[in-house]
Amino acid sequence: MEEKINQAIKDALENAPERKFVESVDISFTIKDVDLKNPNNRIKEEIRLPSGRGKELKIAMFAAGEAATKAKDAGIHVITPQEIEELGGKKGKAKKIANSYDFFLSEVPHMGLIGRYLGVVLGPRGKMPRPVPPTLDPSIIAAGLKSTVIVKSGDKMTFHAAIGTASQSQEELSANAMEIFNRVISKLERGIGNIRSLYIKTSMGPAQRIEVIN
């Protein structure tokens, strides 16, 4: 499969129309013979990509005091505890913030407040914050997240994940794609036997089908 995936990445990059922005490159799975009504069968994996995401991710943290200072020093946007309730009453603004950041962190004491006021906005987007213990520097968690991608099927048979961007080399994208492919396969009862189809594509380019032999 590695050779086929590598060829599909090569074709996707070569056939992508020229754009004024850097396109993301995605791998798309359609699975079969899996009962996704059972939550235990759903795919939900956080995967550290060996070649990174190929772009700068935006991370925000709900914090105050020393934790807020550490977060700011690490280039993390800080949202104060006072803003949480305020955002809860301004759904439009809350949605805008939720869509503006890839990941959220929070000091542990604020988690309940966030769930109460912002859970309805962050939850469906899979962006509920990761709790940061008081002994841990948020920059450490942020550094790991910058190369992390979340692969999630939910109850849909077709789902996709970014393997990087068109600015990365074919070798880097291939390493990332294989990391995701192998993790997804390992979570399926019949492995590749549960894959109906597999594609690689850039944001705006044509999809490249990868032959899956069961």
pLDDT tens profile 89-140: 999 999 999 999 999 999 999 999 999 999 999 999 989 999 999 999 999 9
* pLDDT given for residue 207 in this prediction: 95
* pLDDT given for residue 213 in this prediction: 75
Q: Is the pLDDT of residue 184 over 90?
A: yes
Are 17 and 27 in the same domain? Answer: yes
CA dist., res. 112 & res. 108, Å (int): 8
Q: Is the pLDDT of residue 214 over 70?
A: no
Assign residue 121 the CATH number of its domain.
Answer: 3.40.50.790
Are 130 and 193 in the same domain? Answer: no
* pLDDT given for residue 7 in this prediction: 96
Number of domains in the chain: 2
Question: What mean pLDDT do residues 168-189 have?
Answer: 97
* pLDDT given for residue 61 in this prediction: 98
Q: Is the pLDDT of residue 189 over 90?
A: yes
* pLDDT given for residue 20 in this prediction: 85
Are 131 and 157 in the same domain? Answer: no
* pLDDT given for residue 106 in this prediction: 97
Are 14 and 115 in the same domain? Answer: no
Are 106 and 65 in the same domain? Answer: yes
Question: What mean pLDDT do residues 188-198 have?
Answer: 96
Domain span at residue 169?
2-54+147-210
Among the candidates 93, 122, 145, a domain finishes at 145
CA dist., res. 66 & res. 84, Å (int): 18
Tell me the average pLDDT of the chain: 94
Assign residue 14 the CATH number of its domain.
Answer: 3.30.190.20
CA dist., res. 161 & res. 31, Å (int): 14
Are 70 and 42 in the same domain? Answer: no
pLDDT tens-digit readout, 7-59? 999 999 999 888 888 899 999 999 999 999 999 999 999 999 999 999 989 99
Question: What mean pLDDT do residues 67-87 have?
Answer: 95
Are 125 and 72 in the same domain? Answer: yes
